[in-house]
Amino acid sequence: MDLAEGAMHRQRSPYPYLVPRTIRKVLPVQVSPEPTPNPNAIKFTLDRPSTGGGAETFKNGTDPAASPLGAGIFALGDVTNVFATANFVSVTKTDAADWNDLGPKVVRAIETHFGEVAS
């Protein structure tokens, strides 16, 4: 069966579950936290674009639909600002928060956003 015949067979097959499908494997996102001059902010560099294009800023009052990644990080609490662009996400915390507690949570939120939930 050539390629054209195969395509026609798939279209008229009464058993679509028997037709092989392409499975897309998502590689785990690599996240590297880096300090910034501001002790309340950390830059999380990713191995892929952090947004669908352009910069996204998420802070209190921002519509969660405007930045799903920002909303996920902001929902952790103790976060005052999330800025995502290119291949990084900058997160600013409250003065009272501790990066030793918040940092791993931010990494997990990024992994969750990209579909790789770490247990």
Q: Which two tokens stand for residue 59?
A: 């802070």
The pLDDT value recorded for residue 11 is 52
Q: How far apart, in Å, do the first and last CA atoms of the chain sit?
A: 45
Which domains does the chain show, CATH number per domain? 29-113 (3.30.1370.70)
Q: CB of 82 within 8 A of CB of 89?
A: yes
Note the pTM of the prediction, 2 decimals: 0.75
- Residue range 35-61, pLDDT digits in tens: 999 999 999 999 999 998 889 999 988
Residues sharing a CB contact under 8 Å with residue 118, sequence separation 6 or more, in sequence order: 107, 108, 111
User: Which CA distances in Å does 68 have to 35, 45, 52, 80?
Assistant: 24, 17, 11, 16
Q: Indicate if the alpha-carbon torsion angle 75, 79, 80, 81 is positive or negative.
A: negative
SS (H, E, C) 26-45: CCCCCEEEEECCCCCEEEEE
The pLDDT value recorded for residue 27 is 78
Residues of the chain falling short of pLDDT 70: 1-26, 116-119
Residues sharing a CB contact under 8 Å with residue 11, sequence separation 6 or more, in sequence order: none
The pLDDT value recorded for residue 28 is 87
